[in-house]
Amino acid sequence: MFDVNKVRNDFPMIRNNKDLIYFDSGATSFKPDRVIKAIMDYYTLYNSNIHRGDYDISISVSKTYDDTRKTIARFINADDPRCIVFSSGSTASLNLVAYNFGRNFLKECDVILTSQVEHASNILPWFKAREEAKANIEYIPLNPDATFDLKKYEECFKDKNIKVVVLPYVSNVMGYIYPIKEITRIAHEHGALVSIDGAQGVPHVKIDVKDLDVDFLSFSSHKMLGPAGAGVLYGKYELLEKMEPMMYGGDSNARFYNDGTIILKNVPEKFESGTPCIEGVLGMNEAAKYLMELGMENVEEYGRYLTRYFIDRLKNLDNVEIYNPESEAGIVAFNLKGIFAQDAASYFNKCGVALRSGNHCAKLLQNVINVTETLRATFNVYNTTEEIDRFVDIIKDTTIEKCVDSIL
Ligand code: PMP
């Protein structure tokens, strides 16, 4: 296990905000010095475009950019760095997959099998794909606490033409790690492909795409200690080859002719038109290396430890309702009895605690758990049990009057 005080010292946001308790890493994480340095170095030492300059600084930045595919491949245990497509983030990656299903991979009456825990970014693109292909969407029946039942899932395949299974690795509200390896095995047995939203899973859980055998995995740099503006679509090479880009322009084409013919470059370049977020990719490179140095097994274990610690402390309070007592990956959804989530969040803000309230972009989840708004505390490697203790003391003394006063 890593030394959390040493880790905290790597993060300027922690060093510069001694009194802040930041429990909103699920929205975006803090960044360590080395990520910020990579961005600063780019802008101060070798600011240039990639793949376009025949001079040293451009050649150097192009090499680091391209080498980031190898880092990310190692990070998720992909064999082939060409399977790593850079995007602007999870939303862009998830859209690219759904767009291709809508246009190329689905036929009329085919079924997209998904769930009601999805973040908007992993369901709205599939609504569009359904529309485009005249396909159908079906929802896997989850347990009332949104945990996954493999038996009910397998039953969904009976007499249905399911072509793709769309799920998150970790729900951004409930924090469960879904059994993706089993889910994928069952999908493949029935001839369906699997697209996983890794936005909340990849930063917290050791991922091995070879072992999981998923067909697509999308994630964002900014939730895994890297900068915003960059992200990844991992896809199996033979599938990426069959896909078309959503955008056309510079750097993704080998040739084009005045009759309109476009000869695209190979995977992954064909998906990366225009100047990308170069500094984002360089920062993501350092973030992935930092996480690998901490050890993703340790990151996962520490996340589980903080989650358990917080839930166990909350369980002793009469004024709290917890919605995901079995959460594993640094996400706890709860409410203070009789207090509107946003009022409580505003009061906690006054007490120096930053956390999120609302539906967390998972607007169908209320159909499963029967709650529309929750407070959501999310942890990362720089959070501590001392912060949790301080927060629990605040929660103990929270009343509706204090919350209402804080918003007046
Ligand atoms: N999926 C999940 C589960 C998320 O939590 C998020 C971000 N809140 C996204 C997708 C979208 O990620 P991004 O905004 O980085 O594109």
Residues 6+ apart with CB under 8 A from 63: none
CA 282 to ligand 1 center in whole angstroms: 20
Average pLDDT for consecutive 10-residue bins of the chain (408 residues)? 96 97 98 98 97 95 97 98 98 98 96 96 98 97 96 96 98 95 98 98 97 98 98 98 97 96 97 97 98 98 98 97 95 96 96 95 93 96 98 96 86
Point out the domain boundary residue: 293, 310, 340.
293
Residue that is written with structure tokens 């050649």 in the block: 59
* Domain ranges, residue 307: 4-28+295-407
Give the pLDDT of residue 405: 87
For helices 90-100 and 124-133, angle between their N-to-C axes, nearest 10 degrees: 10
Q: What is the DSSP secondary structure assignment for residue 190, as one 8-state letter?
A: T
pLDDT averaged over the chain? 97
Q: What is the pLDDT of residue 194?
A: 98
Q: Are residues 48 and 92 in the same domain?
A: yes
For residues 64 and 124, membership in a common domain is answered with: yes
From the candidates 83, 109, 351, 361, which is the catalytic residue?
361
On whether both 86 and 120 belong to a single domain, the answer is: yes
**pLDDT attached to residue 334:** 97
- Of 293, 323, 353, which residue sits at a domain end? 293
Q: What is the identity of the amino acid at 242?
A: K
Decide: 329 and 170 in contact? Cβ < 8 Å: yes
Same structural domain, 39 and 164: yes
Do residues 264 and 312 share a domain?
no
Question: Do residues 66 and 98 both lie within one domain?
Answer: yes
- Annotated catalytic residue 403: no
Residue-level pLDDT at 394 = 97
350 with 382, same domain: the answer is yes
Q: Are residues 279 and 150 in the same domain?
A: yes
Amino acid identity of 254? A
Among 268, 293, 318, give the residue marking a domain's end: 293
Q: How far apart are CA 45 and CA 64, in angstroms?
A: 13
Residue 91 Cβ contacting ligand 1 at under 6 Å: yes
Asked if 405 and 346 touch (Cβ cutoff 8 Å), the reply is: no
| Counted domains in the chain | 2
CATH number at residue 306: 3.90.1150.10
The amino acid sitting at 230 is A
CA distance 249 to 273: 5
- pLDDT the model gives residue 115: 97
The reported pLDDT for the residue numbered 89 is 98
Q: Which residues face 172 on adjacent strands?
A: none
- Are 210 and 312 within one domain? no
Same domain, 221 and 245: yes
Cβ of residue 115 lying under 6 Å from some atom of ligand 1: no
Cβ neighbours of residue 340 under 8 Å, at least 6 residues apart? Answer: 373, 403
Residue 256, domain CATH: 3.40.640.10
Question: Which token pair is 7?
Answer: 């880790």
